[in-house]
Amino acid sequence: MPLLELSKSLHDCQRCKLAKLGRSQVVFGVGNPHASVMFVGEAPGFHEDQQGEPFVGAAGKLLNDLLQSAGLSRSDIYIANVIKCRPPNNRDPEPDEVETCKPFLMQQIAMIHPKLVCTLGNWATQTLLERKVGITKVRGQVFYLKDFVLFPLLHPAAALHQGNMLEPLREDFKKLRAFLDRHSQPPPSEATTPAAPVFNIEPSQPAQMDLFGS
Ligand code: URA
């Protein structure tokens, strides 16, 4: 099924209680459907719920700035959230909501087929790593998973709430830039229009370091 079909099929999703808890619309995701780099956040907030697009509020403005610092723009990437509907008062997602919505995130990832998935914050990182590990422990590290490489970053909203997180967040994006620079592929010489950057990143490398010691 193409991405657009999946998006349409979720348009009036009633699979979990969030459908009845004041969401205005399902926020599916946005960006380049052929992106090599995908970002995954937690859940839509007020502005995202109003506009139907992830990361358009204050955290989104900061994210745009951070993307630029990593040499990326929104047109290069795809952005989605773990859960597609705004939880009331921006509360944390509940386990049943994550369980219901995660298959759609996994389908998005399978359809876009990014080389690198950057998770923003604890929720997205734990959901995709399938481990209860704190973001402060794993941020800025590279995980070679079966189908893609995972790069966890602090969540921009954390820096909006705690000013002392801004510098660590900027460091995470510097590390991301260094990683992308190490893996960037020159555009094909016959290309006439600039395309989204392509990276030479392969999942599940044999010499993977086990960062969890298990
Ligand atoms: N925070 C998120 O995790 N996602 C959004 O779309 C906006 C803020």
Q: Tell whether pTM > 0.85.
A: yes
What is the distance in A from the centroid of ligand 1 to the CA of 147? 24
Domain that holds residue 33: 14-184
Atom 7 of ligand 1: nearest residue by CA position: 55
Based on the structure, what is the number of domains in the chain? 1
Q: Is residue 86 part of a domain?
A: yes
Q: Per the domain annotation, does 199 fall within a domain?
A: no
Q: How far apart are CA 118 and CA 153, in angstroms?
A: 7
- Residue 202 belongs to some domain of the structure: no
Nearest to residue 43, comparing CAs of 103, 1, 105? Answer: 105
Residue 111 lies in a domain: yes
pLDDT band per the 50, 70, 90 thresholds, residue 199 = confident
Considering only residues 214 and 2, tell me which one the structure prediction assigns the higher pLDDT.
2
pLDDT for 205: 60
8 A C-beta contact, residue 145 and residue 138: no
Per-residue pLDDT tens for 90-108?
A: 999 999 999 999 999 999 9
Question: Ligand 1: does its nearest atom lie under 6 Å from the Cβ of 156?
Answer: no
Q: Considering the domain boundaries, does residue 65 fall inside one? A: yes
Range in 23-27, 140-144, 202-206 the model is least confident about: 202-206
Does residue 76 lie in a domain region? yes
Work out the end-to-end distance of the chain between its first and last CA atoms, rounded to an integer number of angstroms. Answer: 37
The enclosing domain of 172 has a CATH number of 3.40.470.10
Q: Is the CB of 82 under 6 A from ligand 1?
A: no
pLDDT > 70? residue 206: no
Q: Which atom of ligand 1 is nearest to the CA of 42?
A: 3
For ligand 1, pick from 55, 83, 120 the residue to mutate: most ligand atoms within 8 Å of CB. 55
Please report whether residue 193 resides in a domain: no
Residue 55, domain member (yes or no): yes
Give the model confidence (pLDDT) of 149-170 as tens digits. 999 999 999 999 999 999 999 9
